[in-house]
Amino acid sequence: MGISFDYYHRTSEPLHHETAQDFFLKLYKKGDEFEERTVEQYYDEDFHQFLADRYIVGTCPRCGHPEAYGDQCEKCGSDLSPSELINPRSTLSGKTPILRPTKHWYFKLDKHAGWLREWIATGVLDGKQHHDPRQWRKHVVGQCLSWLDGGLQPRAITRDLDWGIALPLSEQEAAGKVLYVWFDAPIGYISSTKQWALENGKDWEAYWKGGDDVKLIHFIGKDNIVFHCIVFPAMLKAYGDFVLPYNVPANQFLNFEGQKFSKSRGWGIEQHEYLEDFKDFPNKEDALRYALLRNLPENRDSDFKWDEFVDFHDKDLADNLGNFVNRVAVLTHKYYDGVVPAVDGPW
């Protein structure tokens, strides 16, 4: 597709594990960022493990869809929690899971609500203008403020899983506990910068703790707004010294022929198939890039349709742009001997 990575790093790298554990430990030692809670969670007795939200399916309490997941119903789009499912069952054993007590660490997001609201609504942070809130997309600000209006709750940042980043606490205190993926994933931006800096003789802190010289911008989809505008900024502020996002230009969803893209349902376009289907077209990459830009879901969901793709290509690119370039070239040869004439304004 004519795309290359400036830098590629993974959250499975040891440097990331260290960075994420350091982050947890610093907040843990501050003493008032986390609270420990014992909660009841679904457990599969045959497989001897607590079940992540996606490992529990059941009937959606809102629409009756029998295959809703523990965190979401794909039929009606509702956000769910596992305890809301009717007739829950484990995707591992197929059996009904039991509830068992387990201890988790909760990040006290509620404690950060005050400054988060001021920062998002006015762009003011620690009494200084941090960014211009008019440059943020309205739907991003609107979504954040509606979360804040609903009241932020402490959020579990650990899980019982046999993979992931182990909690850097004693075995006795935290056996089998790992960091929740949305706690460690954004820290991956920091560890990636660290690794890049190591390999290129740079100072990573200049990019994350450089004060007003640094502009941290997250390009994401709207389903990740809460993590990049609320949770991660609160983590960064709690740690101290880090810059906060300057802007989070989140896009809305791009659908395909009127429905959500879905890998599991095979609804969408696979990149390798596109390249194969259009292999005889020399500018196939740019044609698709243009169609995606033309349809970018900046402020509302948009739709990719094959007949529009053909129109964008034939009318916009070939007819309009192609004709314009062709005329300019032909007339430049006809009237100016093929040399771009000097501008003799004023226009």
Binding site for Zn ion (CB under 5 A): 60, 62-63, 65, 73, 75-76
Report in angstroms how near the CB of residue 273 gets to Zn ion at its nearest.
31
Q: Which residues contact 166 (CB under 8 A, 6 or more apart)?
A: 21, 174, 177, 178
Report in angstroms how near the CB of residue 76 gets to Zn ion at its nearest.
3
Nearer residue to Zn ion within complex by CB, 66 or 240: 66
Of 328, 317, 347, 16, give the one whose Cα is nearest residue 166: 16
Report the alpha-carbon distance of residue 140 to residue 230 in Å, rounded: 11
Report the alpha-carbon distance of residue 5 to residue 103 in Å, rounded: 40
Give yes or no for a contact between 227 and 182, defined as CB atoms under 8 angstroms apart: yes
Report the alpha-carbon distance of residue 34 to residue 156 in Å, rounded: 9
Of 8, 5, 28, give the one whose Cα is nearest residue 183: 28
Report in angstroms how near the CB of residue 223 gets to Zn ion at its nearest.
17
Nearer residue to Zn ion within complex by CB, 39 or 76: 76
Nearer residue to Zn ion within complex by CB, 65 or 289: 65
DSSP states of 221-264 as a string? BGGGHHIIIIIHHHHHHHH-S---EEE---B-PEEETTB--BTT
Report in angstroms how near the CB of residue 61 gets to Zn ion at its nearest.
8
Report the alpha-carbon distance of residue 226 to residue 120 in Å, rounded: 12
Report the alpha-carbon distance of residue 201 to residue 7 in Å, rounded: 15
DSSP H or E stretch at residue 330: helix 322-336
Nearer residue to Zn ion within complex by CB, 75 or 237: 75
Half-sphere exposure of 42 (CA within 13 A, CB side): 26
Report in angstroms how near the CB of residue 53 gets to Zn ion at its nearest.
15
Burial 210-230 (b: 16+ CB within 10 A, else e): eeeeeebebebebebbbbbbb
* CA distances to 20, 107, 136 from 239, in Å: 12, 12, 25
Report in angstroms how near the CB of residue 129 gets to Zn ion at its nearest.
43
Nearer residue to Zn ion within complex by CB, 60 or 236: 60
* CA distances to 14, 167, 181, 184, 193 from 190, in Å: 13, 18, 15, 10, 5
Half-sphere exposure of 328 (CA within 13 A, CB side): 8
Nearer residue to Zn ion within complex by CB, 63 or 328: 63
Nearer residue to Zn ion within complex by CB, 80 or 152: 80
Report in angstroms how near the CB of residue 57 gets to Zn ion at its nearest.
12
Report in angstroms how near the CB of residue 92 gets to Zn ion at its nearest.
22
Report in angstroms how near the CB of residue 81 gets to Zn ion at its nearest.
13
One-letter amino acid for residue 137 of the chain = R
